[in-house]
Amino acid sequence: MRTYRQPGTVLTDHHFSVPLDHGRPDGERIEVFAREVVAAGKADRPDALPWLVFLQGGPGFAAQRPVGKSTWLARALDDYRVLLLDQRGTGRSTPATARSVARRGTAAAQAEYLAHFRADSIVLDCELIRRQLCGERPWSVLGQSFGGFCTVSYLSFAPHGMAEALITGGLPGLGSHAEAVYRLTYGLCADRCAAHYENYPDDIESAQAVARQLATHDVRLPDGSRLTVERFQSIGDMLGGSSGSHELHYLLEDPWDGDGGLSDAFLADIADRTGFARAPLYAVLHESCYAQGTATRWAAHRVRAEFPAFDPAAAVAGEAPLLFTGEMVYPWMVDLDPALLPLRDAAHLLAEREGWPPLYDPTRLAANEVPAAAAVYHDDLYVPAALSLRTAASISGLRTWVTNEWEHEGLRISGGKVLDRLIAMNRGEV
């Protein structure tokens, strides 16, 4: 362990050895990293504080790297010692990158390895870590987005380890297949695009012009990969943030250079927004985080055909606005992105994989006794409120706060207000 200080906080690094496959505890092991954060004024007696483990959104993203009492931590550190978990494969945990996974050998071996990086394995990692840090005492769990999915899995399979559950933007559909999720999110994306163009009508022509350029020219991003119209459309996931529409407008208001081509600055921005070098697990496992039993078979790609308005042909012809897509992963992404190419065949195998184990236990959730509170964002682009509310009604004792004051990133940008409300809900104070 290594301990160091930042303004207002004391941080301690922890490393834990866990089985790759929890069904084979004597088999291959990997490392999971976590960072403990305690308020400086309480660092002399951290054992007096209950633990709060934070499960990051994703899949495939490391926990936040705090600087002092940043974002929601200021509120959390009033009452807890916080453990920021780099979920397996991310951050300083044993890496699951394109290069490291490719070294596993065949595509089948790579896919088999990656199948162990879903919420069910993350929950079992948490339980091993909890017992090392807390003994038999339960701890509080805070899950954001995909971290909320993990928290519901935790309530399903190891509720004895939880003192309380706090969920923000992360109540999944318990029995919903990926197709059901995308049928809702495509509709939400269309609504967001309409609202964006209503506020910024000049962006209709700008987006059409960019799409026309991409459809008629071989445009390359800084890494040499091709920028297609469909790849350009995928920047619509930024519309799920509170400032995303405004950021999209600034991106579209001046995409050209002096000779009629797309500018280097615009292409660099698009590359950053559509590349997966920083989070390859997000692309490869995104649909798998919905899979229970049956294969997903690139559900977002298949369901898109049910929404012809997303076909860019009319926009290229100047006959309709270009619709942007959201948090969808498509098979062409693993073909176009150099960061994903080493995992292309494994990604296709995962999409066809059958027999995924269940991620939730509806019977256990219906009998839940763990205090639980969830923020459901009414206009959430990524986790549809309709599915979240159905799940909320299926978890005994779960208190739900439905709000349109915040978007999906409310935990991060609310200055602690979202977390404070959830804590108060679990305490019966609101």
- Say yes or no: 124 and 207 in one domain: no
Same domain, residue pair 280 and 249:
yes
Average the pLDDT over 417-425 and give the result.
98
Average pLDDT over residues 212-238: 97
Residue 10: phi, psi to the nearest 5?
-120, 130
Is the per-residue pLDDT at 176 higher than 90?
Answer: no
The span from the CA of 388 to the CA of 35, in Å, is 30
- Determine the 3-state secondary structure of 9 from DSSP: strand
pTM of the model: 0.96
Task: Look at 176 and 297; give whichever has higher pLDDT.
Answer: 297
Which one of 351, 385, 412 terminates a domain?
351
**Are residues 261 and 182 both part of a single domain?**
yes
Tally of domains in the chain: 2
- Looking at 324, 351, 378, which one is the last position of a domain? 351
Q: Which residues are catalytic?
A: 145, 380, 408
pLDDT digit string (tens) for 402-416? Answer: 999 999 999 999 999
Tens digit of each residue's pLDDT (9 = 90 or more) over 246-294? 999 999 999 999 888 999 999 999 999 999 999 999 999 999 999 999 9
Instruction: Give the three-class secondary structure for 179.
Output: helix
Q: Please, where are the H alpha helices in 135-243?
A: 146-157, 178-199, 202-216, 229-233
Q: Which domain holds residue 135?
A: 2-175+360-426
Do 53 and 147 sit in the same domain of this protein?
A: yes
Q: What is the DSSP string of 293-342?
A: BS--SSHHHHHHTT-GGG-THHHHTTSSPPPPP-S---HHHHHH-TTTGG
Do both 194 and 337 map to the same domain? Answer: yes
Evaluate whether 184 touches 178 at the Cβ level (below 8 Å).
no
Tell me the per-residue pLDDT of 349-375, one tens digit each, with 9 for 90 and over: 999 999 999 999 999 999 999 999 999
CATH number of the CATH domain containing 165: 3.40.50.1820
Measured CA to CA, the distance from residue 414 to residue 242 in angstroms comes to 11
Residues 97 and 203 placed together within one structural domain of the fold: no
Output 400-403 pairs: Cβ under 8 A, ≥24 positions apart: 400/373, 400/374, 400/376, 401/373, 401/374, 401/375, 401/376, 401/425, 402/376, 402/378, 403/375, 403/376, 403/377, 403/378
Average pLDDT (162-174) is: 97
Q: Is pLDDT above 80 for 217?
A: yes
pLDDT of residue 5: 93
The domain boundary, picked from 332, 351, 370, lies at: 351
User: 241 with 278, same domain?
Assistant: yes
Going from the C-alpha of 89 to that of each of 32, 286, 288, 351, 405, the distances in angstroms are 8, 14, 15, 19, 34
pLDDT at residue number 45: 83
- Please provide the average confidence, as pLDDT, over all residues in the chain: 96
Residues 200 and 306 in one domain: yes
**pLDDT, tens digit, 9 for 90 and up, residues 87-136:** 999 999 999 999 999 999 999 999 999 999 999 999 999 999 999 999 99
